[in-house]
Amino acid sequence: MTQFSDLGLAEHLLRAVRDEGYQTPTPIQAQAIGPVCEGRDLLGCAQTGTGKTAAFALPLLDRLSRQPSQVNGRGRKIRVLVLAPTRELTNQIGESFNTYGRHARVRCALVYGGVSQNPQVRALNQGVDILVATPGRLLDLMNQGYIDLSKVESLVLDEADQMLDMGFIHDLRRIVAKVPATRQTLLFSATMPPEIRRLSESWLRDPVTVQVAAESAPAERISQSVYFVEQGRKPHLLVHWLQRVRSTRTLVFTRTKHGADKVVRHLAKAGIRAEAIHGNKSQSARERVLRMFKSQHPPVLVATDVASRGLDIDDVSHVVNFDIPVVAEAYVHRIGRTARAGASGVAISFCDRGERAQLKAIERLTRQSLRVETDQPDYPARPEPAIRSPEPVEHRAAKPASRHGKPDNRRPSAATAKSEPAARRRSKRRRLQISQRA
């Protein structure tokens, strides 16, 4: 069996790996580290939770340490650029570089939106070897003149398929155009749709292809099943399921931000601690929620697909698809939050009648049928729609007669209705005057 010591990494990196308790590399690490150390381009496909970050972070740190920067301090130029789709994934990658490179003299900085750019600019001005960034904020700072990519030696695109799904393709092209043509390019993705293959053909040179699992296949250790339930009954089913299942950490996915907040409120009414994380939350709020979720007493975390990637959290025992994702590939990313690092996990999906087509697409993609759960709770009776009883005939107001002696069925205009009280007052005064003369 391959050991990290067999991969030719520098001793200080092996020491950092041992400090983390790692002995045996995952399949993608074992196959990718050697070619990346040699400077080869690489196209890597592996499901989430298989160690893709270390597969590129360790060999890139090895190359930087063997060819250290010739300039210290502010003169350092960006030599490694890593692009990621979300703030959470950017933070996770940055933590990995800092953890594995703790014994190396390299500087890593993070650039992402949702927070003030000032601390990021200060870090850039101090000189950076490795920059981990989201495309939007990176382009913004490039346009302001704070970032120069002319010295980049290695370019990494992590979760490239999600960046395409999020509409980053034009940003990516503008960024790649600013990176030297003679570079090392690493492209990692959980799925390999045709768009990714086309990008690899234009951006990678004679790449090594590493695919360690069946394309789009979920982890084998995840128990997957589905409840068929009407949309309006999903909140009641979720409360029932959470109350009867013992879990370490539970992650619930909804389709929309409003839906996530609504689920949190419903769980709170049932006495279940829950927190939401989605794109409308500030960065500080998202970080606070993630700290709570990583604690010893985590709340139920309700998230949109912004959290389906980039969350490297141990011991997520259960994933609940409160809403079936519209895109089948998103299902693979969602349930990949559990069963990480060889552990087992459970993935439950709630499927409404209108979501059957998405469920079938998921089963075609994963090449397996989800087990149907039948232990549903007793749902509360639905309230009957309010029905107004007809007004008794004798209590109905008589309709005024027209000048021809027939009931006038015409609806009075707004002007007529508004003037009726004054007209009645004038009529009453005339009748009083006539009676006084008589």
What does the pLDDT read at residue 3? 87
The pTM of the full predicted model, rounded to 2 decimals, is 0.66
Q: Which of 109, 48, 88, 141 is nearest to 279 (CA)?
A: 88
Alpha-carbon distance 61 to 67, whole Å?
10
pLDDT at 387 over 50: no
pLDDT of 49 above 50: yes
Instruction: Decide: 141 and 121 in contact? Cβ < 8 Å.
Output: yes
Q: How confident is the model at residue 383, as a pLDDT?
A: 46
Encoded tokens for 218: 């979920």
pLDDT of residue 218: 60
pLDDT at 316 over 70: yes
- Kindly state the average pLDDT of the residues 298-311: 78
Please give the Cα distance from 162 to 152 (Å, whole number): 23
In the chain, DSSP finds a helix count (H) and a strand count (E) of 15, 14
C-alpha to C-alpha distance for 91 and 283, rounded to whole angstroms: 11
pLDDT band at 395 (very low <50, low <70, confident <90, very high): very low
Q: Which helix (H) or strand (E) holds 119?
A: helix 118-125
User: What are the tokens at 26?
Assistant: 């995952």
Q: First vs last Cα of the chain: how many Å apart?
A: 122
Strand partners for 109: 131
| CA 184 to chain CA centroid, nearest Å | 29
Q: Which domains does the chain have, with CATH numbers?
A: 4-211 (3.40.50.300), 222-372 (3.40.50.300)
pLDDT tens sequence across 396-408: 444 444 444 555 5
Q: What is the pLDDT of residue 413?
A: 52
pLDDT at 388: 40
Q: What is the CA radius of gyration of the chain?
A: 31
Mean pLDDT, range 311-320, rounded to an integer? 83
DSSP string, 133-155: E-HHHHHHHHHTT----TT--EE
pLDDT at 409: 53
Burial (0-12, 13-18, 19+ Cβ within 10 Å), 66: exposed
- Please state the separation of Cα 270 from the chain's center in Å: 26
Least confident window among 131-135, 236-240, 273-277, 419-423: 419-423
Mean pLDDT, to the nearest integer, of 384-404?
A: 44
Write down the mean pLDDT value for the chain: 84
More confident residue, 391 or 257: 257
More confident residue, 214 or 153: 153
Task: Tell me what percent of the residues of the chain surpass a pLDDT of 90.
Answer: 53
Helix (H) or strand (E) holding 111: strand 108-111
Mean pLDDT of 88-97: 92
307 has a pLDDT exceeding 70:
no
**Which of residues 383 and 435 earns the better pLDDT score?**
435
Report CA 180 to chain centroid distance, whole Å.
31
Give the residues across from 131 on adjacent strands.
Answer: 81, 109
Q: How large is the average pLDDT for residues 239-243?
A: 95
* pLDDT value of position 287: 84
pLDDT reported for residue 366: 86
pLDDT bracket for residue 143 (50, 70, 90): very high
Question: Region 285-301: what's the mean pLDDT?
Answer: 91
User: Exposed e or buried b for every residue in 181-215, given b needs 16+ CB within 10 A?
Assistant: eebbbbbbbbbbeeebeebbeebbeebbebebbee
> Among 45-59, 150-164, 268-282, which stretch is predicted with the lowest mean pLDDT?
45-59
Distance of CA 406 to the CA centre of its chain: 68
